[in-house]
Structure formats: C-alpha cells, structure tokens
Structure 1
Amino acid sequence: MTGNEETKAKIEKAALDEFMEKGFANASLRQIVKNAGLTTGAFYKYFSTKEDLFASLVEPYANKIYSIYDVTLQNFQTLSSSEQQNAMTRVSTDSITQMLNYIYEHYDNFKLLLCKADGTEFTSFIHNLVERETQSTLKFIEDMRKSGTEIPQLDKDFIHMVSSGMFSAMFEIVVHDMKKSVAIERVKKLKMFYTGGWEKLFGISF
C-alpha cells in the first residue's frame, strides 16, 4: 500500500468510527481529520466534502447490491414465461443469498448505509431497490399474460407497497444487528411468507 493509500485508509477508518457513533448529520469533519492525524489541508487532497467522504464508505456497497439485483433480473428475463415461473424460487433464493453474504462481508458499511445516512442521498437505498422490484414484477405479470396465463389485475402502487414491505423487512437484519446465522433463517422464512403471498395474489405456483 502506497503512502497515499495508507492516508486515505486512515481517513476512512476515522470517518467510519465518527459516522457510526454520531450519524452523518452530526458527525464532525474536524474531528475526523483530527482522529486521522491530519491537517484539514491534507484531508482535502483526498475528499472534497463530508458528503464525498461518506459516499466513499457506502456507495460502492450500495452499487454492488444493485448490481446483484440487476444481473439476476437480466438473466431471469432471458427465460421463457414458463421457465420464469419454474425458476422464480431458485433465482430469488440465489439472489438473496448473494446479497446476504455480501452484506455480512461488509457489515459496517451497510450499518452506515441503513442506519446513519440521514442527511444524504443514500437514504433512498431501499426505495431504489423497491422501484426495481416493482418494475420487474409488472414486467413478469405482463409476460405471463402474453403467454396466456391469467394474472389478476394488480396496480403499481399496491405492488410497490408489497415490495417496500419485503425489502424493509429484509434489511432489519442490519438495523437490529442480527448474527448472520440468525439472519439467514429469518430471511428464509420472510421469503417463504412473501412467495406464498405472491402465489395467492397471482393465482399460480412457483
């Protein structure tokens, strides 16, 4: 690791501690710089603002979760309607497993993202996932109808409500600091709950 990389890592470590204790809004940039053992001038060689510093600790990790979701969806949508129906449980399980593993590999970053981001653009993290899920569900319904499978009418706002409940509940694993083994079991039950609900609403089995 070069000297610049070491200094950047030192800043990020001091920032993680400060943000974790106080949250973004109440965190002191001056304290972060002091704890990193730097001058303010030295700090600005690496980050332009407190927002920029916070983003360095959460944005790559949020983007990875988006990527897991998007790649899973892209692969899923290459399947025929009957294949999608049969693969739904397996594909969603694989995607959630990837997300869980990644979250627990970078737990502190997700704690910041989900619990300490008030005052930043990153409070929209769950909402962004919900929007993706809402659109993909509408597309699934459309494809199933085109293939001849009757799906009852479900409006976008209702699908958004259900999706919001699912993702908000899933990320309770971080909000409440659940051990990974406990989180896996609870998310598994959560997934069973929502799968059963969608089957009932759609009138089909996955």
Structure 2
Amino acid sequence: MAKRIEGVTEKLLECAKEEFLANGYENTSLRIIAEKAGYTKGVIYIRYPDKESLYRALVEPVADGLCNYLKNALEGFKALPGEVQKANERSYADEGFQKFFGYIYENFDIFKILLMSGETKVYQEFLHRLVEIDTDCTTKFIEQTNNDAFSSGRLTPELAHILSYAFYSGLFEIVIHNMPQERASEHIGKLRKFYNTGWKTIFEGDEAEQVNGERGSVS
C-alpha cells in the first residue's frame, strides 16, 4: 500500500471548505477542489469515495463536537439531585449556553456550510441528535424533580420534540443570516427568554399562566 503524504488530507479539507462555502454542495466540483489543492482527482478518491464522504469529513467533526458538548453538559446536570437541579437550573443553563453559543461562532464557517450548502441530510441528522439529547434531559428533569408536566397533560413527548426542534432551528437562523456575534447574542437572549416563559407555564401549570396573564394585562 502506498504511503500517504503528510498534509494532503488537511489541504484537501481546506480547499473543500472554500468551495462548499462559496458554491454550495451541488455546485462544488471534486475536480476543482483537487486542482486548488495541487493534486489530481484520484488523490481525493483514495481518501473519500464520493463528494458526500468528503463533505461529511469536513462538517461532522464540528457537528459532533457541538452535540458532544451538549450531551456532556446535560449529563452533568442530570447527575445532580432533583432539588439541586430545581435550585440551579437557570444558572446552569445560562453558563452552559454561553459556551454552546461561543462554539458556534468559533466554527462559524463550518456551521454555515452545514446549514446553507443545500445538503440537507447531514444537517437533519445533526439537528435530530441535538433534539434527542435535549428532550432526553427534559424528560429526566421532570422525573427527578417530580414535576407533573407529563402526568397533567401539559406536556407530551411529541410536544417536547416540537419545542426543542423549533428552538434549535430558530437558534441557527443567526448563522443563516450571517449575524455578527454581538447582535446574535442579543437575539438569542430574547429567544431564550421567550422559551423560558413558555417552559415555566408547562412546568408550573395554572399558577404560571395566571401570573403571565396578570403581567400581560399590566403591559
């Protein structure tokens, strides 16, 4: 077997990033990527059997990194006793989300490729993983804090999925619209506040609805 030359894969991925970012998935040519990297198209096929494999090699490590961060953060939260979760839920979420948000901007170009290249299968797989991790934590939180959101019917697994999917889809609009980080932070803060109010109603029931109604009438 021929020995692979060091640095070739990195150069191919660098050129692939430029092409996917500029042209989208469908209009990106493996031949042009190879030429820009200074190699033949065959060099790509030694490493990647097709364009999707090259695309996945570029975006999946970053997507996996975000999913793994979310999973590890929420696993740590789930390991806390129920009373500690209830007392620290907001501060824990705020601290964790800042790191989550920062990771997106550290890898902004890759997320832009993932969201806007026109290759939807990998993005949907990624979004499904985020939602699955998130809804699992919500379910465990409800169980460990003896909340009656499910038993009362205020929440169902289907609704939990819809809410989580809508939140993360909305969050990634900051990438789609190429928002500067400071402006995006303001918008996401408002988005989280909106969702937190809704979740408070689901978790606390009629009492929270009454309080929110009174606040609405004052404004």
| TM-score bin (small chain) | 0.7 to 0.9
Gapped regions of structure 2 (runs ≥ 5): 209-219
- 2:213 alignment partner in structure 1: none
- Is the 8 Å Cα contact of residues 24 and 119 (structure 1) preserved in structure 2? no
- 2:182 alignment partner in structure 1: 181
- State the TM-score, normalized to the length of structure 2: 0.83
Displacement of 1:5 in angstroms is: 4.0
- 1:143 alignment partner in structure 2: 144
- 1:169 alignment partner in structure 2: 170
- Is the 8 Å Cα contact of residues 114 and 123 (structure 1) preserved in structure 2? no
- The residue type paired with residue 194 of structure 2 is F
The answer as to 2:92 corresponding to 1:91 is: yes
- 1:76 alignment partner in structure 2: 77
Range that drifts further, 42-51 or 12-21: 42-51
- 2:25 alignment partner in structure 1: 24
Give, in whole Å, the separation in 2 of the partners of 1:108 and 1:72.
Answer: 24
Deviations 1:11-53 (A, max 9, x none): 1122112211222233211121122221122233333321221
- State the TM-score, normalized to the length of structure 1: 0.88
Displacement of 1:163 in angstroms is: 0.8
Between structure 1 and structure 2, the one with the greater Rg is: 2
Aligned residues: 200
* Residue 117 to residue 58, structure 1, CA distance change in 2 (3 Å): farther
**Equivalent pairs: percent with the same residue?**
34
Give, in whole Å, the separation in 2 of the partners of 1:119 and 1:203.
Answer: 37
- 2:114 alignment partner in structure 1: 113
Displacement of 1:77 in angstroms is: 1.0
State the Cα RMSD in Å: 2.0
The DSSP-based 3-state class of the residue aligned with 2:25 is helix
Gapped regions of structure 1 (runs ≥ 5): none
Give, in whole Å, the separation in 2 of the partners of 1:123 and 1:107.
Answer: 18
